[in-house]
Structure 1
């Protein structure tokens, strides 16, 4: 059992093994001793520690992982041994090159393996340093990149400006020594960090020596920053504000969705464990046979996991240095999501195949006795609403102690029979995963009629066993009666008549009930619709060439014949005036 120590390295916290800590401490102490009299010693040490912290962050998988001896030795191999840089190379300029040590060889190999990273170069910029950064990354002079921007602005009708602004916003600036070395593809080790820091100090020293203080003073008085720096700061602030707003939106949407999924999981997902009217409704729609709680659980993971990561993204936008959930948790969530999506796909296919085929079952029955008088046709409703769960068109009822599925998909049509007998054909249909099963489900539909005192009663509902589930069960009734038979469809049939009831009035199925009809050879003939016909004729608009007006002022008739001659007659208190063709008015 080894002890671990918590350390703060470059502003980051790590758990490190005690032996590894001792080795890292000795290594950093040796580096500090090698730069005792160096200019910029503190800056060099700070950059080296920041680089080591960056390497540790790349190697550990999660925040709980302990940095061990292997990680420390690997970092030392990358950074190099401090004694390799104690000797002043200028003293041995005339001596032949010696074979590099093992650490130098490792450093050389790392240098070959180092890949460039894209940053904006703040040391060689005119606006945002994008061109200089691209030049380092692509290995070309920044001048060519700047000429390319000018070409894009001119040839692309300003599109180059938009691309430049996007790169300015999205590409980070190389602000640290490590980032500047990575930008140029140089290995970030002790030697290069020291070299870069010293170059910075030498550059500052030269500028201090050669500066025109009078000119610099005037420049400082006129403006402390360039216009482009100010513009960059403003854009950065706006982008940050917009990003925070996006983060808030993501958090609200994701949290609302996840909460809704939780509620659905513990309500819809409780079907099979908790019994209630709404649970029966869900069960009867589930024809796949898969437990509803399994569907709810898979839906929760399939939809909830992406929104969970959106929630984390929103938090990451709002909170700096947000801790990661770890690779293990990410892989577990990814696996759950894939399993849920595949499971829902399979269950969806199974649910769809359960309604892939439609079949029917038909039975024809003859009326028990001849029709001697007007046949009245009524719709019969279900006996007691107290036995129903919802009192809707799609319902569950308790019939003789058994649970039944209640549906109101009933259509009734009238047609003429070929003989003097009346018949009722009942056509039942249902859906299932095969024709055979669909025919069985259709045959299990419970529907019957009755004839009492010359009144035919058709139920306005059908029943089937609860275990059959909802499979688009329907019943279509065709009443065949002899020609000349008079029928009276009661108003209770108003929403139950089909669309194949031809009649001489052109009435819709909704308007047929409430009238007496005589069965003809091809259509129904209305026996009490004359008054309605006369009324309809009176409501028709007269021909545009004929005008007859009768009101309290008298009678005004204006008729134009086929030759274009007019006949006008007006009767009022002044008498009768008649005008025909071009003749003058005649007063009677």
Structure 2
């Protein structure tokens, strides 16, 4: 078993076994000997080491992987041997280079990578980098930006800023070579560094020191550099602000979900009005704490990652929570989403079908006097919890659901002169059979004492039946000519529309005597309705009279013109001024 050594190469740490380390050390020593007297030797060696570090990083799968002899040999084959390249030690001399023979490997092109070019930039080097990548002059790219800014109403500015942020800058020699599609081997790195020194040498020779001094005094930075740095600072500040918003929103959401989990999850363990409500609407039978836990996981886990994202924006080099934790959280989130989906489908199907149960009860005849119809609530309960759709009451020690969905929907004239009450009960469930069973479990009653008929204005059902939109509809059939009095207590349970000669709604029918006929109820104590226009100062000039005889409208305007309209069983009669038109 070979020993393992830790090395720092190009600012990166690697684990390497002893044989591979010896081969790599000898290789780097040979490269250093080749550049002993060369200008820019340190820069060349540093770039070569950085390139080797990049190649090692591409080959290892994780930080703990050990580099072996195979990886070192592969890197050497890519970089090449130092003796394959001719090093010119007279780089700064004006003498022509000596012709020598070389066993240099033929130049090979590699796939280009997109970088921003810092050596040829006006603002951020985006145009020059795109020019290298697509093989066109950067001038055409810059002209295209101008066209996008003018024709696209500023679209080019947005795209440029995004590329400036997302595309990295070619900072190292190997990145600059990859930007141009050239292999980052010893020859090209050495050539690139030498070109840089030649460029610096030419600038040193041709510089106008007086002009340069004045420029340094006025400003050491170009306008575009200033604008670029300003935009970058603003973008960083904006990113920090976004990070703070993400942290605050995610933290408050997770805390709120945790509190909700505790409150709703305690249903079944802690008894209270709100726990009763949750249990009654939960028709699936799944424990509420399980639903609460799944909901917490389904919502809190994504917000937890948003919280980490905010921290990563604010804190540089934030340590990762690890792949294992990420996979565990992802698995829990998938389980929670699937579980909530299944529970949601079950909850929806529990109210998919509506069925009814009808009971008909015959009243004793004859009804020799006026039938008084009333409604009453239960006098008192052992305990009562109020909700919007239903209440929960204790009835003789038994927990019941109390609902006020009771309506008298019709008054019919019986065909065989009998008096009957039809009670139509309905409920919802996952099948017709179960819905019919739930409807049959509804407890509803009425009583007849002497000539007083009393309806309950509520219904009851057992607590275990849950809330399933239970309701009761009542149809009362009476012999023709029966006189009834609708007590004001019926106001809540009377339906909206009943056929009657006054056109009253169910709300207005209470408090009056009515007589049953074949087609409608006839009011026996209703006053004739006279409708006046309240906006007219002289109300005597405009009258609308509606009664059992028909409709009579009489209007006189300020000019003395008269308009009359009468509608009765004879037809329609219209009078205006001296003209008399009768339409039958």
* Shared fold per TM-score greater than 0.5: yes
Within 5 A, what are the aligned runs for 1:529-548?
529-530=526-527, 533=528, 536-537=530-531, 547=541
Q: Distance in 1 between matches of 2:452 and 2:352?
A: 39
Aligned residues: 539
Counterpart position of 2:477: 480
**1:120–1:174: 8 Å Cα contact kept in structure 2?**
yes
Specify the alignment match of 2:580 in structure 1.
Answer: none
CA 1:497/1:58 → structure 2, altered by over 3 Å: closer, same or farther?
farther
Which one of the candidate residues 60, 64, 68 is aligned to 2:66?
A: 68
Distance 1:169 1:22, change over 3 A: closer
- Partner deviation per Cα, 1:220-276 (whole Å, 9 max, x = no partner): 333322221111111111111111111111111122222222222233234445444
Residue 378 of structure 1 pairs with residue 384 of structure 2? no
Q: Work out whether residues 174 and 189 of structure 2, in 8 Å CA contact, stay in contact via their aligned partners in 1.
A: yes
Aligned-residue offset at 1:361: 1.0
Cα 1:190/1:321, change in 2 over 3 Å: farther
In 2, Cα distance between the equivalents of 1:119 and 1:459?
82
What secondary structure, in the 3-state scheme, does the structure 1 residue paired with 2:531 have?
A: helix
Secondary structure of the corresponding residue to residue 382 of structure 1: coil
Which whole-Å CA distance do the structure 1 matches of 2:391 and 2:206 have between them?
A: 94
For residues 411 and 259 of structure 1, the distance between their equivalents in structure 2, rounded to whole angstroms, comes to 45
Q: Does 1:125 align with 2:131?
A: no
Q: 421, 426, 435: which is aligned to 1:429?
A: 426
Q: 1:175-214 maps to which residues of 2 (within 5 A)?
A: 175-189=171-185, 191-214=187-210
Corresponding position of 1:331: 327
State the shift of 1:466 in Å.
Answer: 2.3
- Secondary structure, aligned partner of 1:125: coil
Question: What do the CA deviations read for 1:371-403 (whole angstroms, capped 9, x no partner)?
Answer: 333333232223434422336541223334333
Q: Aligned equivalents of 1:542 and 1:9: distance in 2?
A: 99
Q: RMSD of the alignment, in Å?
A: 3.7
Aligned counterpart for 2:306 among listed residues 310, 319, 325: 310
- From 363, 366, 369, the counterpart of 2:362: 366
Aligned to 2:348: 352
From 493, 496, 513, give the equivalent of 1:496.
Answer: 493
Structure 1 stretch 152-161 or stretch 335-344: which is displaced more?
Answer: 152-161
1:213 to 1:558, Cα distance in 2 relative to 1, 3 A: closer
Offset of residue 438 of structure 1: 1.5
* CA 539–82 in structure 1, closer or farther in 2 if over 3 Å, else same: closer
Residue 517 of structure 1: aligned partner? 514
Q: Deviations over 1:500-527 (max 9, x none)?
A: 3233333333333233333343333334
CA distances 1:147-199 after superposition (whole Å, capped 9, x unpaired): 33344345445533443333234323223334323322334455544443333
* SS of the residue 1:365 aligns to: strand
**3-state secondary structure, aligned to 1:456:** strand
Offset of 1:451 from its aligned partner?
1.6
Q: After TM superposition, give the deviation of residue 470 of structure 1 in Å.
A: 1.7
Determine the structure 2 residue equivalent to 1:584: none
Kept in 2, the 8 Å contact 1:483–1:520? The answer is yes
| Aligned partner of 2:458 among 453, 456, 461 | 461
Q: TM-score with structure 1 length normalisation?
A: 0.80
Deviation of 1:67 (Å):
3.6
What residue number does 2:156 align with?
160
**Unmatched 5+ residue regions in structure 2?**
89-97, 543-555, 564-584
What secondary structure, in the 3-state scheme, does the structure 2 residue paired with 1:442 have?
A: helix
- For 2:518 and 2:77, locate their aligned partners in 1 and report how far apart those are by CA, in whole Å: 107
Contact 1:56 1:67 in 2 (8 A): no
2:66 matched to 1:97?
no
1:457–1:140 Cα change, 3 Å: same
Whether the 8 Å CA contact 1:374–1:488 is kept in 2: the answer is: yes
String of CA shifts for 1:461-495, please: whole Å, max 9, x gaps: 21222222221111111122233333333333222
Going from structure 1 to structure 2, the CA distance change for 1:432 and 1:83 (only over 3 Å counts) comes to closer
In the alignment, does 2:280 pair up with 1:284? yes
Question: For residues 496 and 327 of structure 1, what CA distance do their matches in structure 2 show?
Answer: 63
1:347-373 deviations in Å (ceiling 9; x for gaps)? 222221221111111111112454333
Normalising by structure 2, report the TM-score: 0.80
| Corresponding residue of 1:135 | 131
Tell me which residue corresponds to 1:582: none
SS of the equivalent of 2:103 reads coil
C-alpha separation in 2, matches of 1:416 and 1:448: 20
2:180 equivalent to 1:146: no
Identify the residue that residue 230 of structure 2 maps to in structure 1: 234
Q: Secondary structure at the match of 2:426?
A: strand
SS in structure 1 of the partner of residue 504 of structure 2: coil
Instruction: Report if the CA contact (8 A) 1:79-1:188 is conserved.
Output: no
Gap runs ≥5 in structure 1: 549-556, 565-588
Answer with 157-166 or 426-435: which moved more. 157-166
Cα distance, 1:152–1:490 mapped onto 2, change above 3 Å: same
Q: Aligned partners of 1:477, 1:343: CA distance in 2, in Å?
A: 42
Q: Which residue of 2 aligns with 1:553?
A: none
